[in-house]
Structure 1
Amino acid sequence: MKYNRGSVLSLRLKGIYEDLSNNYEKAIEYYLQSLQAARNIRAQEYELAALSDLAIAYFSIREPEKAKQFYLQCARMTESDGKIPSLINTYNNLAVIYTQLKQYDSSHLLLEKAVQLGQPLERQGRISLSSTYNNLGNLYFKEKKYEEALPYFRQNLVRHNNDSDLSALWVAKLNLADVFIEKKQFDSATIYAEGAMKLAERLESKSKEADSYSILAKLAEYRGNYSKAYAYIKKWYSLDTAILHSDTYKTIAALQERFHASEREAENKLLQEKIEKETLRSRELTLVAAALGIIGLLIAIGFVIKRNAHRRLKATNDLIIQQNEKLSELNFEKNSLISIVSHDLNTPFATIQIWGQVLQNDANLTEEQQKAMNRILQAGAYGERLIRQILDVERADIGNHKMQLEKFDLRAFTEEMADNFRPMAERKKIALHTETSGKKLFILSDRYLVSRICENLLSNAIKYTPRGKNVWLHISEEQDGICIRVRDEGVGIDKEELPYLFSKYSKLSSRPTDGEASNGLGLSIVKRIVEEINGRITCESEVGKGSLFTVLLKK
């Protein structure tokens, strides 16, 4: 048939067989032969497959550095080839290696590239970025950034619930269980850990059952139930050891086969080794003397290099000190300029507001003139508020605010907040509801900063909620803290944009429903205020159904 690729395919199939039989040494030997055969006939697609096979095999025997070398070759080939799905797959594989090597920055860079390349294709339904999101979640988990990892694992849970991929669904549930264990939210962790175990049993996978028992043991340990943890560990050990024994037996068999083949050769070399032993002994003395001389020379060179490096370091430090002094001067000038500009801009805006109100009270205005005057007043108020927000962010006004602690009643505070925002809500026919417990709730905190938090969240909720819908302000007591929740029936936020929600000047795809202005500063200010008073803020949202912002403050 003159089919020149038969050798490449045959060698690769032999490698795959040995790989699945856990005989990795033989598998690597076949994969290397397949790689050479592919290069001989210049078949790039099979060369790429062989490189990927080798990387996976080395990863399986816990040699990530060698796996990385082959994946880097894959990356260079796929980048020159320009096939985006292959490139995304290679970036994912490399990112997993970098995560295992604790080179987290490199892993972030590769996964971000994979997301940028893949999102247009995913929207067209041509590929799935499920593996990329799972890798991002694992990367944040390794960095102990559990809040950042959580959205990615949840996203994959929803995705695989829909596509019925049970194996991927098991991974998502196991990851969610691990995150909730670290967050000490044990009820949620239990649900996902037990769900993962049921899937492992349904898939009849011993390795998945072993991993599920491992996570259940960790959960029991964190909850202080050590007897239960011990029972799970024994089950994990029985499964894991059975798998290990199978691998070990095959490895030993291969070692014995090689040993018998080399035993005869060893006997032939025995006499020759005795002769060479005496020769080597005399050489060793010469080598030791030479080595001592080289070590002395290296020490001298090292001393000179270290002294020169110290001089360069001192010069660099002096330069850094000078630059820092200059930056401090420039920063002081910048802050002074901001103060001057803010003072000067506040005056004309205040003047606009005063004269606008005077003109608005004139009964002789026509309906069109009254409408124009309302717009002038709204623009003036917006400009004044924008100046204050810019100053909060750029001049770090929150950090310079002198904390004034006072004990105040949150029930009265809630009603006051709602009354302030009801006119704004009524203009859009939005019903603003308040929900508090029956008893009085007191908190010791800075009333001004708590007001700023509620103002921003309520303003955003009304802005992003369509006419005729509802907004809720709910305050409750939870253990040793106070929980403030602002919920709306607005446009919602895309899950992919949630990690960037509290970034400064972030511009999201969601837009106000009535043409209101949005500058991307409000939520970054809220986050800074919450952190300033030792609180936490989270957001849950679904596009088209609304958002829930939760602020937890200590009493």
Structure 2
Amino acid sequence: MVLNGLIDFFIHPDRFKSDDELRKARLLVRGSLLTSLFSNSYLWLSFYFSFQMGIYMMLMNVVGFLLLPFLVKTKIPIIGIGNIYVLIGAIAVTTLAYYSGGTESALYPWIVSIPVLALLIVNRTSAVFWGAISFTTMVFIGFLAIKEYPFPEAYDKSLRSEWFTAIVPGLLLIILFIAMVFEFTQQKALQRVANQNAELLQQQAVISEQKEELKSLIEEKDYIIRILSHDLRGPLGNIKGLIRMMDMETDAERKDECKELILQTSLNAENLVNRVLEMDRSEQESDKVDFKKIDLLPLLDELINKMQGLASKKSIKINLLCYTDKTTVVVDKTYVNLIFENLLSNAIKFSQPQKNVTVTLNSKNDYIQISVADQGPGIHPEEEDHLFKKFSKLSTRPTAGESSTGLGLSLVKRYVETNNGTVRYDREASTKGATFVVELPLSN
């Protein structure tokens, strides 16, 4: 972390805006500092071999490569600074090769390092440029050697073996060091790219999740609209049936009863709309439930009276049978009304004219069982698994051309579970039609 802070100290703030620019800047700073350190060791070797020109050139390298990072702190393009880096090295290597024997010098092969450093530190174009210069320089020195040009050997020649042993492996070391710096920088860059890709994948996952949530919300909104359109049909149908009954009635008292039922049905419809809007606001299926102790028997009796107008159109009689004295439950009255309004509406809808619909109450342990049985065609065994699914339409059709959305039983299940109860299709009891059994918790 300290080294990274030192490296970034030499980098102009504008270079941090581009990942590629920042990577190149850091590579150049690291390379310069390492090369200065490496040149420092050869400075002391030059003293050992009494190589005066080596002392001058290595001193130039040490100072030059130490000062070079300060140029990175300016706005000078990185490519320009990188080529200055290569130029300093090229001057030192070429000069030292000349003053230590030309082609016979241990520094002659070091000219190869010039385009290599250009490739690692700058770019491919600079490597080609410096490669051409290095090639030309090596050929020229070779041509002079062929012509037997007397290259100076300005070092202690009695230490020739030690000279070659110290200088030639250095070529490997400097290229290895710079290559390792390059590889480290590349690795960091690749890691950064990998991290960015991981972040992108994570963001894509979040977007995908949000897309699914949005899709779910849209479906829920659509479902709520369908709930309203479906469950408002029942009260509106009851109101129409009661109005027809009023037209047929001559008894004033009976007309007042119809008016009262119409008012109550309208209030139930309004309550339904409010409750569904509450559900929409909370974005939950059943967030606000008003649990109260309710005597189920009079509630069902009142509901049957409301539904009788709809049933009378098909000359269907609705019977209410009670075989228990435990009829008090802890439920939400609005939802319970909707449960049995849907079940009775379906029973009437799928029954032939002049048949019976029977509602039966029994108690079992801590629950009361309410069964709604019709005398219609029943449910095909292979379709039983689809009974309580949203929008599932079965092969059995209403007997008088009534509409069916496939929502009724899914809503019944939803409302029953909201009231901590269960609902099922009773196959064994459904020998002459369809029987649905609802279980609701009794009040303690």
Q: TM-score, normalized by length of structure 1?
A: 0.34
Structure 1 or 2: more helix by fraction: 1
Higher relative contact order (CA 8 A, sep 6+): 2
Q: TM-score, normalized by length of structure 2?
A: 0.41
